[in-house]
Amino acid sequence: MQQIDLHPLTAAAFLPFGQVIQTEGADHYAINAGMTERYHDLAAVELTGANPRPLISIFRGQPYQLPLPLKMMERHPLGSQAFYPLSAIPFVVVVAPDNNGQPGRPLAFITAPGQGINIAQNVWHGVLTPLQQTCDFVVIDRGGDGNNLEEHHFSTPYLIAATT
């Protein structure tokens, strides 16, 4: 299996695939008479296709162990999908450029506490991959009509490395 190295998640590295949702580096301003700081508009929510609407859900993800075979990637042709973790555990984010309708060579990132992601519409990505323990995530994605899921199974799985 070809090995995919893990890299720390940064806004710049993730930019071709979506946005890192984090307060660091974000525009922010005080509201509520100074008692609340608003870190504003951290993700580009994309909603297309027939009768689209944003969904707010909670995903409860069971943990995986590294090294981890990567057998499948998926994408959502009709909308973006944002994940924000409800604990400080790291999770692995696997994305890939498109290569003629299939995922090209994947990239794997590991999050720091306080980092969520918004995967842009139609970007190939792996499944939700928390490490260490079960973690809940707030998820904002697209509801509506039409098929919003495409999967690609690799003939030869990749192997996501155990360390950065």
Provide the binding-site residues for a copy of itself, judged by CB under 8 A.
21-23, 26, 31-33, 35-43, 45, 47, 53-62, 64, 82, 84, 86, 114, 116, 118, 127-128, 136, 138-140, 143
Closer to a copy of itself at the Cβ: 99 or 133? 133
Pairing of strands 6-8, 107-110: parallel
Cβ of residue 102: shortest distance to a copy of itself, in angstroms?
20
In the block, residue with structure tokens 């995922």: 103
* β pairing state of 81-85 and 129-130: unpaired
> Which residues contact residue 93 at a Cβ distance below 8 angstroms, ignoring those fewer than 6 apart?
9, 14, 108, 109, 110, 111, 117, 125, 126, 129
Residue of 9, 157, 2 lying closest to 69 (CA atoms)? 157
Name which of 13 and 55 has its Cβ closer to a copy of itself: 55
Least distance in Å: CB of 100 to a copy of itself? 26
Nearer to a copy of itself, 59 or 154 (CB): 59
Minimum CB separation from a copy of itself for residue 60, in Å? 4
Between 99 and 112, CB nearer to a copy of itself:
112
Q: Is 93 exposed, middle or buried (0-12, 13-18, 19+ CB in 10 A)?
A: buried
Query: Least distance to a copy of itself from the beta carbon of 135, Å?
Result: 10
Residue 108 has phi, psi (to 5 degrees) of: -125, 130
Q: Which is nearer to a copy of itself, 42 or 110 (CB)?
A: 42
Min CB(161)–a copy of itself separation in Å: 20
Contact yes or no for 115/21 (Cβ under 8 A): yes
